[in-house]
Each structure stands twice: as C-alpha cells, then as structure tokens.
Chain A
Amino acid sequence: MRAMLIVLFIFLAAGSDFSAEAQQVSSMNPKISLDGLFAVGASTVPDIENIETGGHDPNQRGITVQNVELTMSAAVDPYFTGNANIVYQIDKQGESTVELEEAYLTSTSLPWNLQLKGGQFFNQFGRLNATHPHAWDFIDQPLVNGRFLGPDGLRGPGLQLSYLLPLPIYSEAIIAVQNGSGGTGFSFRNTPGEELFGRTVVDRPVKSLADMVIVPRLLGSVDLTDTQTVVLGGSGAFGANGSRTDTQTAIYGADLYYKWKPLTAESGWPFVGWQSEVIMRRYQAGSTAGPTPLQQETLRDRGGYTQVLWGFTRPWVTGVRLDYVAGSGGDPAADPLRERRFRVSPDITFYPSEFSKWRLQYNYDDIQSRDKPVHSVFLQWEFMVGEHGAHKF
C-alpha cells in the first residue's frame, strides 16, 4: 500500500497521465494483508483446551490469540499465480510460534480445463477444511474437522490436479496427493511418538505412493434461481496411518451449501446461508503390548455439523450450528477424541466494515464423559489491513 502511494506521488509529481500507469506499476507488488483474530472467553470447565478441538479455537479461560495471518499473493508469470499464508500464534504458555501454513503455486492456463496446484496447502476435503479461521462463521471449528481432519486441518506438502468437467452445469473433479505426516496429517502418518487412540504413533517413512494421502473430491453447483445457489460435494482421504507399519485410514465426506441473496442486496445483506458436512472415518489401529494391551481393531467414527447463517439486517449476521460426533469399535467412551458429543452454538456477528468484525458465541456442549453439560461463551474480534484476495463462494 505504501509502495503504491509512493508510486502515485511520483506520477503526480511528474504530472503525467498516471491513472493507468499507477495501475500497472502497483500490480507488480504482491497483494499483502495482515489479519488478526482474537477471542476472550469463559467456560464452566477449566480445561477449555481439551474441549475445543481446533488449533485456532480459544484455548484458555481469558484471552486467546487465535490467528494472526500474513497473506501474500500475486501472478508469478503468465502461467502461474503464487500464494503464501504465514501464521503467527501465541500459545497458552505465552510462547510465540510461526508456522508456514500455506505456500503454493496454481496454474492459470493449462490446456484441457486442467489446473495444477503444488506446494504446501490445505486440501479441498469438504467445505471448511480449505478455508482460513478469519473466514469462518463461528469462533471455533466444527468437531468433525478437529477430530477427523486434525486440529490444524488436513494439509501438507503436495500436488493437486483438478479438472473442470465440460458439462452444462459447473462440476469439478479434484485429486490431491499429500505427505500426510505431522500434526496436519492427523488421521494419517501423524507425528511419531505422539499418543493417539491409546497407541504410540510409529515412524513410517514413505516407501510408495500408498503411504501418502490421496484426496479425491467431486463437486457441482447449480443456480436454482438468480437468487439461490446450491453447491454439492463429495470427498475422500485415503492413506497410511501411524498406528503400525501396515495400517490404513479412510475418510469419506459429503457436503452441501445453499445460499439465498436477493439481487438488490445492499453490501451483501440480507442473505441466508446453510452449510452441512457429514464425515466418516475408518482407522485401522494396530495391537499394542504394555500394561494395558490393545488388540488390532478398526475404529469407526462418524459425525457432522449443520449451520444456518442469516444476515438479517446490515451489518448483522446471526447463526446457529449443531455438531454431533460418535464412534464405534474400540472403546470410544474412554477416549476424549472419540467419545460421543453433541454441541449447539448460536452466535451473532457485527461487521463495522468488510475489514473488521465482533462476534459473540455460546456453546452448549453435551460430552459423554462429563457429568454435566458444559457451557462456554466467547467474544471474538478481527481486523484486516492491506490487500486481501476475495474469497471463493
């Protein structure tokens, strides 16, 4: 922005016809934006970090720095665009962390309607996984995302190829291959030494493509009318997991999004958006020795969320989300990451402009292992400076 202003001034001083030229010069710099997302909250339980499953969710009573994100994007050359998101967080102990969340290139003009993406990126499993916390409609992540795709989402170094099908309606087929290791390969090879489902994650280096995660997705969309649009999708994620050296994970998901917005909407209001995802996971867990030996078994988990957002009058949006997760196989009730849980979360958001927001959310959380339902309240606020690319539908 500052560089752009300097350029503007130079052209002003030169007294030239600068409008078009400044446009060209300014676009040589990448778009750079910084987004800060914070929350203050309280809960009837002291261990908020154990009930909030997302890596960017509020993690303590008091104030949480959820996500401070530096974003850069630009055209690389006539063939590719480049994007990067670098995330800063301050954890519960006050330690700062910096993480390369995403950095990837995307092709713009491959033949045959193909598009290639390569680098470190969130894969497009379902609707929410590939979006960033500041674009979410609630303060925390749905339980299915945190539990099945991982606290920080399913992402990693990888390659993705997608194909726009030449059909009368929009339809796209996507396939990605990713490493599936570390915390962002949660249900897959994860981090060796971590405890998961009562077992220690083993070191399982890639020997073949089968050890990586393959993520296919098919999605389509139709405009029911000029004011109503539906997007439907189905996803899968298949790969090796770190339970033993020969165990596999399969995750299946289906998602639906519906939006209504009148043509004469003022700055985007009013609108109604309905989003739902159901996800199922089959995790092959290996046998273990030790004080409490576990046998080889298949852990089956399922769940979903459905949420409705209503922008009733500018600049207010209110919504409610229902979350449900449950498991079978093994002993789900004994594992905080598999026990049955039902959550209701109403929220209301005030947008002073497109670049800031204030959000209040209440969670009613019915958790199998806890005697009483858990009540939590959070207030979130966000600011965005700089030039941030528009979001996808």
Chain B
Amino acid sequence: MKKILIAGILWSLFFSSFAEAKLNIVTTTPDFASVAKEIGGDRVEAASLAKGVQDPHFVDAKPSFIRLLNQADILIEGGADLEVGWLPPLLESARNGKIQTGNPGRIVVSRGIRLSGVPTGPIDRSQGDVHPLGNPHFMLDPENGKIIGEEVASTLCRLDAGSCEFYRKNQTVFNQRLDQKISDWLQRMAPYRGTRVITYHESWPYFAERFGLNVVGHVEPKPGIPPSPVHLESLIDLITREKVKVLIMEPYFGDQATKFLAQKTGIQVLVFYPSVAPEAGINNYFDIFERNITRLTETLKTADKK
C-alpha cells in the first residue's frame, strides 16, 4: 500500500514538473469550448466533457471526467441547472480548488445573462422538469456568445495577466466576426419573421426570439415529459389550425412522435444541432447558427413555393 502511494506521489511530481504553461480550460458543453478557443487562441487548451449531440441534461458522470476536471485551470459551465444531473458529483471528486464555486477558475455563464422563462408563479415538479432559475439554453442566441466571450476573456486576463492584450485582441476579432455573421443571419431570416414553429423541448426560446420565430407549441406536453396520444392529437389540431410548417427537434429525441405528426399533417421535421458537433459538420460556435439557419431557410423557401 505504502509503495503504491509513494510511486503515485513520484509520478505526480514527474508530471507536474513537465506541465505546460498553457491554461487548461474544461467546459461542460462544446459551444463554450469553441468560444474559449476563439479567445484563448494557441495559449489555451479547451476541451468539453459533453459532446454536442448529447442532451446536456443527461450526461453520465464518467470517472474519466474526474481526471479532466482535476487537471483544469478553468471550468466553464452553463449553470441554471443545465448540468445539475451530473456535474456536482464530478466536482466533489475532482479535488481541484481552482475550479470550486466562487474561485477565479470557475465560470458560471448563466450568471451574466438575463435568462428567459424564469417562473413568475409557484412551481413544483407536477409541471415537469421546470427550471426554477430560467431557461438554460441561452447560448442559442448568438448575441449571448459575446457575453460568454467577455467572461472567458476577463477570466483569462485575471489568471494570465501577461497575455491579457492577446486575449482582448482575440475577443475583439471574435465580436466583430460574430456581429457580421449575426447581421447576415438576420438578413437571411428576415423574410420568415413571425413564422410559426413547434419545438420538441423548450430549448429554442432564445434562438426564436433573436431570429423572429414564433414558437406556438412543444412536442413534450411538459418539459422532460414524453408526449401522450392526447397531447399529439391536440398538436395535430394546432398544426392544422395555425398552419405550422416546421417542427424543430434535437438529434437526441426519438422520432416516433415527430414522424407521426409529419405523416398526419405534412409538417417538416428539422433536426437542429444545439451545440458544436464535428460529426454533423459543426466545428465551431458560428457553425451552429450557420447550419441551422441554412436548413431552416431552405425548408421555408421550398414550403413557400408549394
């Protein structure tokens, strides 16, 4: 036993002496990692625990994540209960003071953002998985990308003051590029302002607000609760009555209910990626919007012709 401990301590000394100077950023979802890379450039390493095609509410707290968190200089999480089902036990095991709550290495992005969907009346779990702190899918408004960027830049400046100028310059470039893209996306979406859509889960209010979509219903009757036949019947009525052309869902929801709705009403089902997912050709934060908006405008264009 003693020998194992001594060997372990020697290992740790060996590794720490060769540790690189780069700041090691770990994020819960890959959209945060993408923004962190934009700001930190080659002076940081940024990696995400969850994959972009995963439901960020249901990630397994795998032991390999403990090791990643143990090595992190900075942890970026969404907060507002996005990761409540898996991040706390990982952090308890990570033994890394740098990223504990309240320390400079911990970024809880939702704290800097005005969240939508904050309950205004009494809530309990009979309403499904309601988020008492507001809707945590805020990164799907690209304007919030700038707030994430600012949080990253100011944290990097605090922890690596010598490179602050570099980070701030990257932040300016990132903001300029994002502004250009946003105006381009808004222009492309302009003909479709007010389009009525249905989303599977309540995860697209920020995107809808920014690009002028009107979300008139959800496939889930209550957040996190699978659709019942009665609810699907009411959706068929709604789609027909309101002439809803598009249904937006994430890749991690089953297609049984949406196929049924498409078959009954002819509604177009679009898989929107909520985060960076290289397997779907989404390599950075910009690509999330680029890809989803391209699909949406193409679909709406064809639907208009019909």
Interface of A with B (CB < 8 Å)? Answer: 1, 4-5, 8, 12, 17-20, 22-23, 26, 75, 78, 81, 106-110, 112-115, 163-167, 169-170, 172-173, 175, 216, 218, 221-223, 226, 229, 231, 259, 261, 263-268, 314-315, 353, 355, 385, 389-393
Contacts and interface: CB of A to CB of B under 8 A. Distances in A.
A20 B133 CA distance: 8
Contact of A266 (B11, B120, B252): B252
Contacts of B119: 8
22 contacts: A1-B124, A17-B114, A22-B132, A23-B79, A164-B93, A164-B95, A166-B8, A166-B11, A166-B15, A166-B16, A169-B67, A170-B64, A173-B5, A221-B64, A263-B53, A264-B53, A265-B58, A266-B253, A314-B226, A315-B226, A390-B61, A392-B89
B306 interface: no
Contacts of B180: none
Contacts of A315: 226
Nearest to B14: A166
Nearest to A386: B125
A98 B17 CA distance: 52
Given A164-B95, A264-B251, 19 more contacts: A4-B132, A5-B122, A8-B119, A8-B132, A109-B95, A112-B12, A113-B95, A166-B15, A175-B1, A216-B1, A218-B4, A221-B63, A265-B54, A265-B55, A267-B55, A268-B58, A314-B254, A355-B125, A389-B89
Interface of B: 1, 4-5, 8-9, 11-12, 15-16, 51, 53-55, 57-58, 60-64, 66-67, 70, 79-80, 84-89, 91-93, 95-97, 100-102, 111, 114-115, 118-120, 122-125, 132-134, 224-226, 251-254
A261 B60 contact: yes
Mostly, the B contact residues are: loop
B95 A108 contact: yes
Contacts of B97: 108-109
Contact of A19 (B96, B134, B253): B134
Contacts of B224: 267, 353
A8 to B, nearest CB: 7
Nearest to B11: A166
A391 B60 CA distance: 10
Contact of A263 (B51, B62, B64, B80): B51
Contacts, number: 137
A4 B67 CA distance: 34
Contacts of A392: 61, 89, 93
A314 B79 CA distance: 26
A163 B4 CA distance: 11
Given A110-B95, A261-B60, A265-B58, A78 B100 contact: yes
Contacts of B85: 390
A163 B119 CA distance: 42
Contact of A390 (B80, B88, B120, B123): B88
Chain A to chain B: the 7 pairs with minimum beta-carbon distance, closest first? A109-B97, A221-B63, A166-B12, A170-B63, A264-B252, A170-B67, A165-B8
A125 to B, nearest CB: 15
Contacts of B60: 229, 259, 261, 393
